[in-house]
Structure 1
């Protein structure tokens, strides 16, 4: 799994003109799933996301995690994180998991992040044409790949 985590002051996702999810301070997480991902990848990544200490403390140092600032998460599925651009100009998405693999893992990630955070998170809709809006705070953008744990 690949997660692109953006620290935001606010973020929202709109589908067909209707706001599906929105948050104030917290993380916008773009999640890509590949066909070799497992529950172990999911558990590890969820803990990393919740534990990221990228919010400023009283001294202005990035030292606080999401819970410390009472932040929230907007989770968006994004198969394009597995784009392969080595050949030509049209990306290949062969490494992105097919929906029968990706949807259950995406839904489990929603549950895991909600449990770790101790509150429901906001989401997009798997496979929908979504319009994502955000105000990146910092900017702070972190990329985590569960295949690079070591």
Structure 2
């Protein structure tokens, strides 16, 4: 907005209009540079930073040679990191659905019925494509209900 206002003196034909525009433009750029470079520092100082979810080191892709209604559904479980969620056996996933991979940070957890899901886990489920939303709601709903 200040830069737009700084164009008015130049548009009005004032001799000092170009100098006013240059001064305002410089002040705006300086203000942005100072605010942008100190924002992260102040956030850390005031303890308003949150840990970043790590990129998974493992992933699975489904390649089929024939027509199939199965799909891989990947669900990232919510915060807080490491919070204990439900046991896989208690989830009640739709028939024909199976959890094939749990990525926990940089590790792979072999899914068993007794495995507890934890916050920030990435769960990969092989299921019918029509069950996509059901599986997401079961995993996220059961986890947040704990």
TM-score, normalising length: structure 2 = 0.28
Higher helix share: 2
Greater relative contact order structure (CA < 8 Å, 6+ sep): 1
